[in-house]
Structure formats: C-alpha cells, structure tokens
A and B are shown apart, each in its own frame.
Chain A
C-alpha cells in the first residue's frame, strides 16, 4: 500500500520552488486519499473482527438467556426470556440489526437487560486515560532507553538495558502491580493503595493513577526497548549511517539524525502492536487497584457470565487499537514515501 501511494520522487525533487508551491493542493489531495484509504482498510478489518466476535458469541454454547437463568427455572421460562432478548430470531437478522445499530452507539443489551453502552459510558474513558498515559510513557521511555543502549553498543549499559528489558517483558502486569502495591503503598505509605472514585466517576486524585500506569509501563517498556534497540542496530549497519560515522559526526547526531529516521517504521509497527497488550493489561491492573475502569465492569461480567458486555468491551478496545494502528500505518507511509 505504501508503495502504491508513494508520490513520484524525481519530478518533485527537481521541480523549482514556484512549481512546488503550485503542486501543493495536489499533494494535499493525495494525502487525503492516502489517509482515507488507510482508514477504510482499518475500518474493514474492524468490521471483520466484529463479525468474528458476533459469530463466536453465537457459536459458543450458552447464551445471554441461560447466563442470567436462575436455579430451578423451567424450560418455558427460559424460552420466554430468550424471546424477550430476541434470541429466537435468525442469526443473520440479529447480526444485521446489531451491525446497523453500532454506528449509532448501540452495543446491544447485557445479560442483566441493561444497555451495554450505558454500562461502559463512564468506565471506558477512564480505561482510555490509563491506557493512553501508559502508552505515552512507554513510547518516551523505550525510545530513550533504546537510544541510550544503541549509543553504547556492546558496553555495560547496553547489556544491562538489554537484560532488564528481556526480564521485564515476560512478567504479567498483576505481578508487577502486587510488588508495587507492597513496596510503594503498604510498606512505605507513599501512594494510595486503592483508587477512590470522585463524584464525576473519575479517579479522585492523579496520585491514584501512578501505580496502575507504572505497572503497565514496566513490561511494555521492556518489550519496546528491545524493538527500538534492534531497529537501531539494523540501521547502524546501513551504508548511509556508516558514512556518517566515518565523517566523524558525533554519536548523538549519527543516532538521532541518521539512524533513528530509518528505524521509525519498525518502531512504529512494534509500538502500535503493543496497544492491545496495554489495554488487556489495563483490564487486569484495574481489578487489583479497584480503578473505576472497564476492568472493574468486566470482573462483574465474569461472575455473571455476561458475554454481550464482554463483546462490547472487545469492540471498544478493537476500535481504539485500530486508531493507533492507523496512525502507525500513516507514519510508516510518510517516512517510507519521503525516503524513497
């Protein structure tokens, strides 16, 4: 896709300034087409995911009616409830209805009979806040650590960062959370152990965000530092970086101005794919810190075996991940296009 949308480089580079200014609207249009194309492709993949989720919920034994059933309920009661929830209609009809309702923000009805949208309206933004803070911190930290290690190849700093990154990316977030909770909260008392929710449904103080964010950041930084370090190592082997080194440019300049731009596509892909891990981890970490996010809602859904609610969360998470992947697609297309 990047190869197709790449603008022809030669005329553009050869064109004198006035003509380039005249070509500006055309380039803006090309950019718009490119963005729309990438967005359409991501949207299509999201629709496929929705179809798979819907089919999975249908194909798996047990539905919302049996999930909410109480002990000793007769088959007739069950059938009545199934009719009430519309589960006795044909599969394609329900799928079509579900899909057409999605753009209006209707995610269906939970097993308890409440609107899924209503159940997720407060918690999902909180989870996004947690995930986005962790994402930004992960990007900054892994770029910094990866560059730092790459500036000292094979030396102690490089090896230490490498080992720490390898060790940390395998550890589940809930284990990191427990260790943080014990050290930072229960033994030293520096940070609050549980999140208290304010009147608006958000955490009452920013200090309550620190530990959940750190618990998410540590494993993800380990993973992404390895990706940044590896991408930079691949770049240092390329002729233009070798030439920059032989020109006697300082290490910092070689790394940031010559190696890093070429490494951006690999880094963007790597970091974008860890969004899913971040959101999944957020769900788990929230449970432990009592953070008012999707994780807390899901903990209830697990007990009630509320599949429609979980499908709703999957859709929201899928949409968020699609957006980050789209940003990575565009970034990659820009960098590759500019360097062609």
Chain B
C-alpha cells in the first residue's frame, strides 16, 4: 500500500535523467556478462568432468585457475557454470513479471481480488524466500532446478502483484478506463488494452528487479545444494564444493564468487538505468 504513496511525483532531488548513451554504458556490462556466460561452454578449454590436474592444485600447467576438489579444471567449469544459473534467473524473472502484471491489473479492476492479493502478500512476507524454497525443493522427490524455479516464482509473485496493483490503482479510476467499463468491456480487454500500455515503465523496472532477485535466489539455492546436483557445474555450487580447499587453491572459490558478484551488480545497474528513476523507486519501495 505504501508503494502507491511513494509512486507519486519524484522527490525534489536535482537529478538529470541519464542520456541514452549513458544508459547504454550501464546496460553493457550486464549484457556482456550474460552473453559471456551463455557462450562460455563453447570457449572452455577442457571437458567438465575429467580431472586434468591434482585436487585443489594451484594455477599452472594446463589449468589457468587451478583444479577443484576432484582436480577438474576450474576455468572450464567457470565458463560452463553460468548458463543454467542465468537461464533459471531469467525464467523466474519472466514468469513472475508476467503473472504479477496480469494479476495486478485484475486486482485493481476487481476489488475483492485486490484484497485477497494484499492478504497473500502480508502472509508471504513472513516466509523468508530461502526457507520457502528449501521447503518446496526438499519435499519434491528428485529435487533439481525445476522445483527451485517453481518455488521462486510462487514466492515472488505476491509481492510483485502488490507493486503492479499499486502502480495501476490510479489508472483504474481514470476517465478512459471508466469509459471502457461503462462500455461494458470485459476484464481481459480492460487489463490488456487499457491498463497495460500505461504500465510499461513499471513492468520494465519490475522485470529488472525480479532478474536481480532471481540471480540472488537461484544462486542461494545452488549454494545450499538444493538446486543443481553435484556433477553439474554451477557457480554457486562451485563455491560450496571448493570451500574446504580454499587455502590450497583460493581461485576455486574466489573465481565463481566474483562471477556471481559481478553478475548481480551489473544486472542491478542495468535494471537501475532501464527504467525512469521515479518508477524504479516505486518498485524498490515496499
């Protein structure tokens, strides 16, 4: 509810809106990193699962970043390890944004649904996302990435709906929407043709932040070993697996940690510059 309160005219902060070139500069690192992670598997010098050096071997010989706990090449695993992580985070971001936009538009047009959404968000705030994902992923036989993504979507939607509803509420009482309602238009028409075009900036900002949140949640799950399972290469899982050998080959832990950090920061900067500042603020705020 306070999302509406802060969505009002932006504060009297003297702030020049960054130009197109500057926005491009901010989006570039994120885009580059995503491209590198997606194309990484083709650049890897070694295969994923055959040992090329001694366990926890320091950098040298054929392995530029040394070996991991089984002597596999850290660099090759690093190049492979981002693809699934980024793809899962993107999937979470797209699914949450899509569901939240539709539900949010419906919530402002149907007050009963709106109240239900508010209560759901109130309840879901009591459940830390890490614990919620653990609960779902562990009760699911087989585990793996699927349940983690499903749980992340499920837990992300209520709060995101609240944001979209907060932004859509002032639109729903505007003249053109009331005119469409009195014309007798249906819910779907009202949501897609009347509300959605005016919510572009909010939805874009929401997508950016959900991607950031997706990277956070998916990598957290990987680190807790509830997402990808051991033979797979995954940055977060690498941090966990190689932590015991941090003294012998710090790169086995440092390289994937830095990769996750760089991904999170650059995606966040990109999300920050994609949307107008006032909208970004409304989305960040509770």
Residues of A within 8 A of B (CB): 45-46, 48-49, 52-53, 56-57, 60-62, 66, 153-154, 166-167, 169-175, 178-179, 181-182, 186, 226-227, 230-231, 233-234, 236-237, 265-266, 269-270, 273, 276-277, 279-281, 283-284, 287-288, 298-299, 301-302, 305-307, 310-311, 313-314, 317-318, 321-322, 325
- Residues of chain B touching chain A, judged by Cβ–Cβ distance below 8 Å, are 2, 5-6, 8-9, 11-15, 119, 122-123, 125-132, 134-136, 138-141, 212, 215-216, 219-220, 223-226, 236, 239, 243, 246-247, 250, 253-254, 257, 260-261, 264-265, 267-269, 272, 281, 284-286
Q: A174-B219, A287-B224 are in contact. List 20 more A-B contacts (CB 8 A).
A: A49-B127, A57-B139, A66-B141, A153-B13, A167-B265, A170-B212, A172-B219, A172-B223, A174-B236, A175-B264, A179-B254, A181-B246, A230-B285, A234-B11, A279-B131, A298-B134, A302-B134, A307-B138, A307-B139, A310-B134
Chain B residue nearest in CB terms to A287? B224
Query: Do the beta carbons of A186 and B250 come within 8 Å of each other?
Result: yes
Give Cα A172–Cα B85 distance, bound, in whole angstroms.
Answer: 14
Q: Are A48 and B212 in contact (CB under 8 A)?
A: no
In the assembly, what is the distance between CA of A232 and CA of B260, in Å?
Answer: 32
Q: Which residues of B contact A227 (CB under 8 A)?
A: 284-286
A233, A287, A298, A299: which contacts B12 (Cβ < 8 A)? A233
Q: Could you tell me the distance in whole angstroms from the C-beta of A221 to the nearest C-beta in chain B?
A: 15
Nearest opposing residue in chain B for A163, CB measure: B269
- CB pair A60–B140 under 8 Å, yes or no, is yes
A305 to B254, CA, bound (A): 29
Most A CB within 10 A of own CB, among B14, B136, B223: B223
Residues of chain A with a CB closer than 8 A to B267's CB: 170
Assess the B239–A233 pair: CB atoms within 8 A. Answer: no
User: A250 vs B254: C-alpha distance in the bound complex, in angstroms?
Assistant: 47
**Which B residues are CB-close (under 8 A) to A310?**
131, 134-135, 138
Chain B, interface SS category: helix
- Say whether B139 contacts A61, CB under 8 Å: yes
Q: Is the CB of B135 within 8 A of A273?
A: no
In the assembled complex, the Cα of A314 lies from the Cα of B253 at a distance in Å of 30
- Check A266–B5 contact: CB distance below 8 A: yes
Using known A-B contacts A57-B135, A233-B11, determine if residue A174 contacts B220 with beta carbons closer than 8 Å: yes
